[in-house]
Structure 1
Amino acid sequence: EGMIFLFPNEEIQSFWMRNTKLPLDIIYVDKDFKIVKIYRNTTPFSTVSLPSNKPSKYVVEINAGLTEKYNINEGDKIEFKPSK
Protein backbone atom coordinates (compact mmCIF):
# COMPACT_ATOMS: atom_id res chain seq x y z
CA GLU A 1 0.00 0.00 0.00
CA GLY A 2 0.99 3.58 -0.51
CA MET A 3 -0.06 6.91 -1.93
CA ILE A 4 0.06 8.11 -5.53
CA PHE A 5 0.11 11.80 -6.36
CA LEU A 6 -0.97 12.67 -9.92
CA PHE A 7 0.02 16.03 -11.37
CA PRO A 8 -1.57 17.71 -14.41
CA ASN A 9 1.79 18.38 -16.08
CA GLU A 10 5.06 16.52 -16.25
CA GLU A 11 7.63 18.78 -14.62
CA ILE A 12 10.23 18.85 -11.86
CA GLN A 13 8.46 17.91 -8.60
CA SER A 14 9.73 18.23 -5.05
CA PHE A 15 8.47 16.70 -1.81
CA TRP A 16 9.54 16.93 1.81
CA MET A 17 8.76 15.02 4.99
CA ARG A 18 7.68 17.96 7.17
CA ASN A 19 4.52 16.47 8.73
CA THR A 20 5.28 12.82 8.04
CA LYS A 21 5.83 10.62 11.10
CA LEU A 22 7.17 7.52 9.32
CA PRO A 23 10.15 7.08 7.00
CA LEU A 24 9.13 6.55 3.39
CA ASP A 25 10.54 5.63 0.02
CA ILE A 26 9.58 8.37 -2.44
CA ILE A 27 9.44 7.40 -6.12
CA TYR A 28 9.20 9.96 -8.95
CA VAL A 29 7.69 8.60 -12.18
CA ASP A 30 7.51 10.21 -15.63
CA LYS A 31 4.57 10.24 -18.07
CA ASP A 32 5.77 6.94 -19.59
CA PHE A 33 5.70 5.30 -16.12
CA LYS A 34 9.50 5.13 -15.91
CA ILE A 35 11.04 5.75 -12.49
CA VAL A 36 13.26 8.82 -12.75
CA LYS A 37 14.28 9.23 -9.08
CA ILE A 38 14.02 7.31 -5.80
CA TYR A 39 14.67 8.58 -2.30
CA ARG A 40 14.99 5.64 0.07
CA ASN A 41 14.29 5.68 3.81
CA THR A 42 13.55 9.40 4.05
CA THR A 43 13.85 11.16 7.40
CA PRO A 44 10.55 11.86 9.22
CA PHE A 45 9.73 15.55 9.85
CA SER A 46 12.62 16.72 7.64
CA THR A 47 12.15 20.02 5.79
CA VAL A 48 14.89 19.16 3.30
CA SER A 49 13.57 19.32 -0.27
CA LEU A 50 13.70 16.04 -2.20
CA PRO A 51 13.49 17.05 -5.90
CA SER A 52 12.82 14.72 -8.81
CA ASN A 53 15.77 16.22 -10.77
CA LYS A 54 13.94 15.18 -13.97
CA PRO A 55 10.37 15.88 -15.07
CA SER A 56 7.81 13.62 -13.40
CA LYS A 57 4.03 13.31 -13.55
CA TYR A 58 3.50 10.92 -10.64
CA VAL A 59 4.96 10.60 -7.16
CA VAL A 60 4.56 7.38 -5.20
CA GLU A 61 5.10 7.16 -1.45
CA ILE A 62 5.52 3.71 0.10
CA ASN A 63 6.85 2.40 3.40
CA ALA A 64 10.60 2.77 3.78
CA GLY A 65 12.54 -0.27 2.65
CA LEU A 66 10.05 -1.56 0.09
CA THR A 67 12.02 -0.32 -2.93
CA GLU A 68 15.02 -2.28 -1.69
CA LYS A 69 12.96 -5.34 -0.68
CA TYR A 70 11.34 -5.56 -4.12
CA ASN A 71 14.43 -4.43 -6.06
CA ILE A 72 12.74 -1.30 -7.45
CA ASN A 73 15.29 0.97 -9.12
CA GLU A 74 15.57 4.14 -11.17
CA GLY A 75 14.94 3.33 -14.84
CA ASP A 76 12.40 0.60 -14.02
CA LYS A 77 8.84 0.84 -15.36
CA ILE A 78 6.01 0.96 -12.83
CA GLU A 79 2.39 -0.14 -13.12
CA PHE A 80 -0.47 1.23 -11.03
CA LYS A 81 -3.36 -1.02 -10.01
CA PRO A 82 -6.35 0.28 -8.04
CA SER A 83 -6.94 -1.25 -4.63
CA LYS A 84 -10.16 -3.12 -3.99
Structure 2
Amino acid sequence: MRHAVATALLAGFLWAPGAQAADTCEPGSVDVRSDRSTVRFSVEIADEEPERALGLMNRQELGRFASMLFIYERPIEAVFWMKNTLIPLDMIFADPTGTVTRVIANAEPLSLEHRRGGDNVQYVLEINGGLAERLGIGEGAVLRHPQMDQAQAAWPCPEAGADAQ
Protein backbone atom coordinates (compact mmCIF):
# COMPACT_ATOMS: atom_id res chain seq x y z
CA MET A 1 0.00 0.00 0.00
CA ARG A 2 2.73 2.45 0.99
CA HIS A 3 4.60 1.71 -2.28
CA ALA A 4 1.45 2.38 -4.33
CA VAL A 5 0.92 5.74 -2.61
CA ALA A 6 4.56 6.74 -3.17
CA THR A 7 4.28 5.73 -6.82
CA ALA A 8 1.12 7.80 -7.21
CA LEU A 9 2.77 10.83 -5.60
CA LEU A 10 5.76 10.59 -7.92
CA ALA A 11 3.65 10.16 -11.04
CA GLY A 12 3.72 13.88 -11.78
CA PHE A 13 7.51 13.80 -12.03
CA LEU A 14 8.13 10.49 -13.77
CA TRP A 15 7.45 9.51 -17.32
CA ALA A 16 7.84 6.43 -19.40
CA PRO A 17 10.69 6.31 -21.90
CA GLY A 18 9.58 7.88 -25.15
CA ALA A 19 6.97 10.15 -23.58
CA GLN A 20 6.92 13.73 -24.88
CA ALA A 21 8.56 15.26 -21.78
CA ALA A 22 11.54 12.92 -22.15
CA ASP A 23 12.19 14.24 -25.66
CA THR A 24 13.32 17.69 -24.52
CA CYS A 25 16.34 19.11 -22.72
CA GLU A 26 15.83 22.23 -20.65
CA PRO A 27 18.55 24.41 -19.06
CA GLY A 28 16.50 24.61 -15.84
CA SER A 29 16.17 20.86 -15.42
CA VAL A 30 18.26 17.72 -15.34
CA ASP A 31 16.94 14.31 -16.37
CA VAL A 32 17.98 11.02 -14.80
CA ARG A 33 17.15 7.69 -16.42
CA SER A 34 17.54 4.33 -14.69
CA ASP A 35 16.16 0.84 -15.24
CA ARG A 36 13.24 1.73 -12.94
CA SER A 37 12.33 5.27 -13.88
CA THR A 38 13.05 8.48 -15.69
CA VAL A 39 12.77 11.61 -13.60
CA ARG A 40 13.22 15.31 -14.19
CA PHE A 41 14.58 17.55 -11.43
CA SER A 42 14.61 21.33 -11.43
CA VAL A 43 18.28 22.23 -11.29
CA GLU A 44 20.71 24.89 -10.19
CA ILE A 45 24.04 24.73 -11.99
CA ALA A 46 27.38 25.02 -10.19
CA ASP A 47 29.90 25.27 -13.02
CA GLU A 48 32.31 27.85 -11.61
CA GLU A 49 34.53 27.45 -8.55
CA PRO A 50 32.71 29.91 -6.24
CA GLU A 51 29.36 28.19 -6.96
CA ARG A 52 30.87 24.73 -6.48
CA ALA A 53 32.50 25.77 -3.18
CA LEU A 54 29.17 27.05 -1.81
CA GLY A 55 26.99 24.26 -3.19
CA LEU A 56 23.85 23.77 -1.10
CA MET A 57 25.37 25.11 2.13
CA ASN A 58 23.19 27.03 4.58
CA ARG A 59 19.89 26.01 2.96
CA GLN A 60 17.06 25.17 5.32
CA GLU A 61 15.31 23.06 2.68
CA LEU A 62 15.46 21.80 -0.87
CA GLY A 63 12.31 21.36 -2.93
CA ARG A 64 11.26 17.72 -3.30
CA PHE A 65 12.43 17.48 -6.92
CA ALA A 66 15.03 20.24 -6.83
CA SER A 67 18.74 19.60 -7.33
CA MET A 68 22.16 21.07 -7.90
CA LEU A 69 24.39 19.86 -10.73
CA PHE A 70 28.13 20.39 -10.31
CA ILE A 71 29.83 20.55 -13.70
CA TYR A 72 33.61 20.31 -14.01
CA GLU A 73 35.65 21.29 -17.08
CA ARG A 74 37.35 17.89 -17.08
CA PRO A 75 37.16 14.71 -15.02
CA ILE A 76 38.37 15.00 -11.41
CA GLU A 77 38.83 12.89 -8.31
CA ALA A 78 35.63 13.99 -6.58
CA VAL A 79 35.65 14.49 -2.81
CA PHE A 80 32.68 16.20 -1.16
CA TRP A 81 31.75 17.05 2.43
CA MET A 82 28.67 18.42 4.18
CA LYS A 83 30.21 21.38 6.01
CA ASN A 84 27.49 23.99 6.63
CA THR A 85 24.98 21.84 4.75
CA LEU A 86 21.83 21.63 6.85
CA ILE A 87 19.85 18.96 4.99
CA PRO A 88 20.68 15.32 4.16
CA LEU A 89 21.65 14.83 0.53
CA ASP A 90 22.19 12.05 -1.95
CA MET A 91 25.33 12.68 -4.00
CA ILE A 92 25.20 11.15 -7.47
CA PHE A 93 28.61 10.99 -9.19
CA ALA A 94 28.84 10.60 -12.97
CA ASP A 95 31.65 10.18 -15.47
CA PRO A 96 32.17 12.30 -18.64
CA THR A 97 29.39 10.37 -20.43
CA GLY A 98 26.91 11.23 -17.67
CA THR A 99 26.81 7.61 -16.50
CA VAL A 100 26.41 7.27 -12.73
CA THR A 101 29.44 5.61 -11.17
CA ARG A 102 28.57 6.02 -7.49
CA VAL A 103 25.78 7.20 -5.22
CA ILE A 104 26.39 8.31 -1.66
CA ALA A 105 23.01 8.18 0.07
CA ASN A 106 21.79 10.34 2.92
CA ALA A 107 25.02 12.24 3.57
CA GLU A 108 24.80 13.48 7.15
CA PRO A 109 24.21 17.24 7.53
CA LEU A 110 27.11 19.31 8.92
CA SER A 111 29.54 16.38 8.71
CA LEU A 112 33.18 17.08 7.88
CA GLU A 113 33.69 13.49 6.70
CA HIS A 114 35.19 13.39 3.22
CA ARG A 115 32.95 11.45 0.85
CA ARG A 116 34.83 10.12 -2.14
CA GLY A 117 32.97 9.88 -5.40
CA GLY A 118 35.88 8.30 -7.22
CA ASP A 119 38.12 9.19 -10.12
CA ASN A 120 36.95 10.26 -13.57
CA VAL A 121 33.99 12.25 -12.20
CA GLN A 122 32.82 15.20 -14.28
CA TYR A 123 29.29 15.68 -12.94
CA VAL A 124 27.82 15.48 -9.46
CA LEU A 125 24.09 15.76 -8.88
CA GLU A 126 22.86 16.50 -5.36
CA ILE A 127 19.25 15.72 -4.47
CA ASN A 128 17.30 15.25 -1.25
CA GLY A 129 18.60 12.43 0.91
CA GLY A 130 16.91 9.07 0.31
CA LEU A 131 15.35 10.05 -3.00
CA ALA A 132 17.88 8.20 -5.19
CA GLU A 133 16.98 4.88 -3.58
CA ARG A 134 13.24 5.54 -3.81
CA LEU A 135 13.58 6.37 -7.52
CA GLY A 136 15.98 3.54 -8.33
CA ILE A 137 18.88 5.84 -9.20
CA GLY A 138 22.14 3.93 -8.86
CA GLU A 139 25.26 2.93 -10.74
CA GLY A 140 24.57 2.72 -14.45
CA ALA A 141 21.80 5.35 -14.48
CA VAL A 142 22.44 8.26 -16.87
CA LEU A 143 22.13 12.03 -16.54
CA ARG A 144 21.13 14.48 -19.26
CA HIS A 145 21.50 18.28 -19.33
CA PRO A 146 22.27 20.71 -22.17
CA GLN A 147 25.54 21.89 -20.53
CA MET A 148 26.97 18.38 -20.56
CA ASP A 149 29.31 17.48 -23.41
CA GLN A 150 26.76 16.13 -25.90
CA ALA A 151 29.42 14.47 -28.07
CA GLN A 152 30.37 12.20 -25.15
CA ALA A 153 26.93 11.83 -23.55
CA ALA A 154 25.50 8.35 -23.02
CA TRP A 155 22.06 10.03 -23.21
CA PRO A 156 22.47 13.18 -25.32
CA CYS A 157 19.94 15.95 -25.61
CA PRO A 158 18.01 15.87 -28.87
CA GLU A 159 19.10 18.34 -31.51
CA ALA A 160 17.11 21.58 -31.54
CA GLY A 161 15.46 20.63 -34.82
CA ALA A 162 14.37 17.27 -33.45
CA ASP A 163 12.43 18.97 -30.63
CA ALA A 164 10.06 20.56 -33.10
CA GLN A 165 9.05 17.25 -34.70
Same structural fold, with TM-score higher than 0.5 when normalized by the shorter chain:
yes
C-alpha distance in structure 2 between counterparts of 1:62 and 1:81, whole Å: 19
Which deviates more, 41-50 or 52-61? 52-61
Q: TM-score, length-normalised on structure 2? A: 0.47
Query: What does residue range 6-25 of structure 1 map to in structure 2 within 5 Å?
Result: 6-25=71-90
| Contact 1:6–1:58 (8 Å) recurs in 2 | yes
Match of 2:105 in 1: 40
Q: TM-score, length-normalised on structure 1? A: 0.90
C-alpha distance in structure 2 between counterparts of 1:78 and 1:25, whole Å: 15
C-alpha distance in structure 1 between counterparts of 2:114 and 2:74, whole Å: 20
| Contact 1:36–1:54 (8 Å) recurs in 2 | no
Task: Flag structure 2 segments of 5+ consecutive residues without an equivalent.
Answer: 1-65, 148-165
C-alpha distance in structure 1 between counterparts of 2:83 and 2:118, whole Å: 20
Q: Structure 1 residue 54: deviation in Å?
A: 2.7
Q: Which has the higher helix share?
A: 2
Match of 2:127 in 1: 62
Q: Structure 1 residue 25: deviation in Å?
A: 0.2
Q: Structure 1 residue 47: deviation in Å?
A: 0.4
| Contact 2:75–2:119 (8 Å) recurs in 1 | no
Task: Flag structure 1 segments of 5+ consecutive residues without an equivalent.
Answer: none
For the pair shown, which has the larger CA radius of gyration, 1 or 2? 2
Q: Report the count of equivalent residues.
A: 82
Match of 2:67 in 1: 2
The partner residue of 1:75 within 131, 137, 140 is 140
Larger RCO (CA under 8 A, 6+ residues apart): 1
